[in-house]
Amino acid sequence: MTQRDIGKPLFNVVLIIVSASVFVAASAFPNVNIPGDLSAAFFPQLLSALIFIFAIPCLIKDFQEWRTGDVTASSSSISLARAAGQWLFVILLLIAYVYAFERLGYMISTALFIFFCVVGLAVLSGTWGTLSIAGKSKALAGALVFAVVLAVAIFYVFTDLFKIPLPT
């Protein structure tokens, strides 16, 4: 028995929808007639059609597997909700990092990203709750020092050693 994961058939559904959309979008490409040549839409349409066709048997198989899968089986020692929370947190933090990167500059945005990433994972993984007040203060200070030192070290490695300019 394997773990039930609705994401598996859903991913195939996403592939089917996206490939159909790509096929339709490609049909709107202007047709430039060059003797012997294929149109600009040929490959996008061929590939999206093939992805669409191949994803259907995958969807059927994955859906059957999901229906017969074991609800209790789990490949991980941590709960799915906690794992998904950690995953989503990092994604959102990354988006915020990209947004802040040019606005706040490399140093501040990077130090903030590292700090929140380390502390956020500690909170979401449950270790934060087990710490005493002194332990939490120590962990916060440690994360802050780590964030600042790493941000500064990477800045000098990239700008001085590799001559790659970063926004300040």
Partner 1 sequence: MISGYLDGLGMVLQLSTLLAIAGGTLLGIVMGALPGLTSAMAIALLLPVTFGMPPVAGIGMLLGALCGAGASGSIPAVLLNIPGTPSSVATTFDGFPMAQKGEAGRALGLAIVASFFGGVASMVILSLLAPPIAEFALRFGPAEYFSLSIFGLVIIASVAGKSLLKGLIAGMIGFLISTVGTDPITGVGRFTFNELSLLTGVNLLPALIGLFAVSQVLKDTFEYDPNERLKESGHRIDIARPRFLETLKHWKAVVMGIISGSIVGPIPGAGGSIASLVAYDQTRRFSKTPEKFGTGHAPGIVSVESANNSLLGGALIPTLALGIPGEAATAVLLGGLMIQGITPGPMLFADQSGTVYGIFLAYLLANVFMLLIMCLGIKLFIRVLMVPRKQLLAAILVFCFIGVYGVDGDVFNLYLMLGFGVLGYFLNRYNFGTAPVILGLILGPIAESNLRRGLQSFEGDWTPFFTRPISVAFLIVAIGLLALTLWQNYRSNQQSTPAGDDSV
Binding to partner 1 (CB under 8 A) within 81-110 occurs at 83-84, 86-87, 90-91, 94-95, 97-98, 101-102, 106, 110
| Residue 59 binding partner 1, by CB under 8 A | no
Show contacts with partner 1 in window 8-27 (CB under 8 A): 8, 11, 15, 22, 25-26
Give the DSSP H or E segment for 164.
Answer: none
> Nearer to partner 1 by C-beta: 13 or 137?
13
Work out which of 20, 24, 62, 168 binds partner 1, going by CB under 8 A. Answer: 62
Does residue number 37 form part of the binding site for partner 1 (CB under 8 A)?
yes
Q: Is 168 in the site for partner 1 (CB under 8 A)?
A: no
Q: Check: CB of residue 119 under 8 Å from CB of residue 143.
A: yes
What is the C-alpha to C-alpha distance for residues 120 and 126, in angstroms, rounded to an integer? 10
Report, in Å, the least distance between residue 143 CB and partner 1: 8
Report how far residue 149's alpha carbon sits from residue 111's, in angstroms, rounded to the nearest whole number.
Answer: 8
Per CB under 8 A, the list member of 6, 13, 24, 61 interacting with partner 1 is: 61
- Tokens 């490695």, residue located: 157
Interaction of residue 36 with partner 1, rule CB under 8 A: yes
Query: How many Cβ atoms are within 10 Å of 3's Cβ, its own excluded?
Result: 15
Question: How far apart are alpha carbons 78 and 86 in whole angstroms?
Answer: 11
Residue of 50, 141, 145, 152 interacting with partner 1 (CB under 8 A): 50
Alpha carbon 41 to its chain's center:
30
Q: Please classify residue 33 by burial: count the beta carbons closer than 10 Å to its beta carbon, then call 0-12 exposed, 13-18 middle and 19+ buried.
A: exposed
Nearer to partner 1, 47 or 108 (CB): 47
Does 141 participate in binding partner 1 (rule CB under 8 A)? Answer: no
Using CB under 8 A as the binding rule, whether residue 69 contacts partner 1 is answered as yes
